Every structure is written in C-alpha cells, then in structure tokens.
Amino acid sequence: MTKTEYNTIIRKAEREGLNLSAYARKRALEAEIRIIDNLKIYTPKLKEVGDKLNHGVMLAHQGKINYIDLTEVETLLSKILETLNRIKEEREVNKK
C-alpha cells in the first residue's frame, strides 16, 4: 500500500468517525465477495508469465537483452479478458 492510499483510507475512516481497524472491518463486512472459479486456471500461468516478464525487464536494464517478446503475455491476458467478459454477460442475463 502506498502512503497516498494509506492516507486516503485514514481520511475516509475519520470522516465516518472510525479508527482504521473499525473502518476496515465495516468495509469488509459490507463488501460483496465474488469468487470466480473460472479464473483459477489462469493463476499459475499468470504468475509464471509475471516472473518471466520481471526477469526479462531485469536483463534489459542490465543491457543483456534489447527486446522482450510479449506474445505469451498478450495471449494470456486476452484469454482472461474473454473469460471476464463471458462471466459479466452471464451475470447480466441471470439478473433479468
């Protein structure tokens, strides 16, 4: 959490007359938690891509490489976006 984010949360808590812990509990209890099982299959692959991307950026900063092929990242993110859009459409249909 950045200092700006922390300060924003503190200000919001103070506006409601709550300390940080009470504010966090209140928000957590009010929040709707959505578990999207369809995305669990992407978690390990997304972590792997993130690790490879971080390693590539490190090598680029060291001057050891000049180019990082992001095709795999683009493909994975496109699949995740398609899944999210499908889930959104299904939820909108179920609300009607």
Could you give the residue ranges of the DSSP H alpha helices within 18-70?
20-30, 43-61
pTM: 0.48
Q: Which residues of 31-46 are buried (b: 16+ CB within 10 A; e: fewer)?
A: eeeeeeeeeeeeeeee
- Of 57, 73, 75, nearest in space to 65 by CA: 57
Q: What is the pLDDT of residues 14-62, one digit of tens each?
A: 999 999 999 999 998 987 777 777 677 778 888 888 898 899 899 999 9
